[in-house]
Amino acid sequence: MEAMTVSTSVSPADEFDRNVPRICGVCGDKATGFHFNAMTCEGCKGFFRRSMKRKAMFTCPFSGSCTITKDNRRHCQACRLKRCVEIGMMKEFILTDAEVQRKKDMILKRKEEESQREAQREALQPRLTEEQSRVIALLLEAHRKTYDDSYSDFQQFRPPVRQGPVTRSVTRASSVYSLQNQSSEDSSDSFNPTYDPMDLKLFDSSSLLMSQSSSSSDSSLASQSISMLPHLADLVSYSIQKVIGFAKMVPGFKELTADDQIALLKSSAIEIIMLRSNQSFSLDDMSWNCGSQDFKYRVDDVTQAGHTMELLEPLVKFQVGLKKLCMHEEEHVLLMAICLLSPDRPGVQDRARIEVLQDRISEVLQAYIRARHPGGRLLYAKMIQKLADLRSLNEEHSKQYRSISFQPEHSMQLTPLVLEVFGNEVS
């Protein structure tokens, strides 16, 4: 039989090229690597090892020149062994039983050491303490109880009246509002615009100048520059109530004096509303999407509530930057709590106590970022910078509020809630 002519030479480039097929130099089957100094398959590797260990002597029943293939390699052991030697397989490379055992032990030891290193890395991985996890859970619960992402309550507000021709959207919203006023006035879950001077729900601050007029004609406002004020007033008043509900569930807040609670809420409410509104802000069209088209708010809508671009341009820029941070919900609620518990707010008395509460929340936020937000090395610093941006927005909002409230025709559209908060604002 004609001798097999399979090449066993492998160039350095081919040796490391995964795309080049590896062929057993003995039988032509798919090779698994270099074994005993030659590229072979697992079958020929085992055959050579067994033959050398047994010191086997084979005799070819044919002419001593059989062609060895994958299919017939078991037919002639003599020519198969001969072929093994011809391609460079060497018995010196075969490990003894003791060496094989040592190699197995070494492999096992390396696996155990790697498992130990992995366990050590896991132990060193930043983790949240039980107390930190509890704080986060409380804040998440507070936010979810006070933020309805279905925006179903918006149907209870006075309808949005946008300047221009009356649209189907405005007409439909007006109809819904009228029906609800007739059928669900006594609902305990409805938006309640009434003013109770003894309730913390008085305190308002908002990115969209607001208020609820008690008996003004909505139709008469439609042709004025503040046609959106009644609707946005209801929206912001509603948001303030939710912010106060959130604040009451922030760990440590209710233990503060009533005066300090009021001071913190009056100064931070608008900032927290801006933070909360980022949840509905869309980068696609730079608007706040709160359900239906009726409740899709653009910059033009807010200008029709009396605000100018000096506030709205940086506000949109802030919303875009905050959105791009891709914060987790946990980070979002922690940032709101830090914003609320700012000891440098006007009118605050026990600054040291409030600073302790804020530092505690800040530590939880940093721990959460380390443990749960891969690649968030600079995130904390960026989030704190957003709080500085909010202070500037707060200041500009206060200026614009004062400008609007000085005009009697506008001031009469403001609710007692808004007047209480911004009219008595400490500057």
Residue-wise DSSP of 186-252? T-TTS------TTSGGG----SS-----SS--HHHHTTSTTTTHHHHHHHHHHHHHHHHHHHHTSTT
Q: Which two tokens stand for residue 199?
A: 């309730």
Identify the pLDDT of residue 418: 65
Q: How far apart are CA 78 and CA 65, in angstroms?
A: 9
Check: CB of residue 178 under 8 Å from CB of residue 317. Answer: no
In terms of phi and psi (left: phi > 0; alpha: psi -120 to 50; beta: otherwise), the region of 10 is: beta
Residue 374: the pLDDT is: 83
C-alpha 244/C-alpha 128 separation (Å) is 28
Tally of CB atoms within 10 A around 49: 18
Give me the phi and psi of 300, to 5 degrees please.
Answer: -60, -35
> What's the pLDDT score for residue 200?
46
Query: What is the pTM assigned to this prediction?
Result: 0.65
pLDDT value at residue 216: 39
- pLDDT of the residue at 191: 57
At 100-150, the pLDDT tens digits run: 899 899 999 999 888 887 777 766 678 899 999 999 999 999 999 999 999
Which amino acid, 275? L
Tokens 């072979």 -> residue? 40
235 vs 157: CA distance, rounded Å: 7
- Pairwise CA distance, residues 263 & 245, whole Å: 16
pLDDT, position 100? 85
Q: What is the mean pLDDT of each run of 10 residues along the chain (427 residues)?
A: 40 53 93 94 95 92 92 94 95 88 91 82 80 97 96 92 57 42 42 48 38 38 66 87 95 96 93 96 95 92 92 97 96 98 96 97 96 89 96 93 76 70 50
> Which residues, in sequence order, are bridge partners of residue 281?
288
State the chain's maximal CA–CA distance in angstroms.
Answer: 118
| Segment 366-384, tens digit of pLDDT | 999 999 988 888 999 999 9
The four Cα atoms 74, 76, 77, 81 give a dihedral, to 10 degrees, of -110
Answer for the pair 421, 211: CB distance below 8 angstroms, yes or no: no
Place of tokens 């260990």: 53
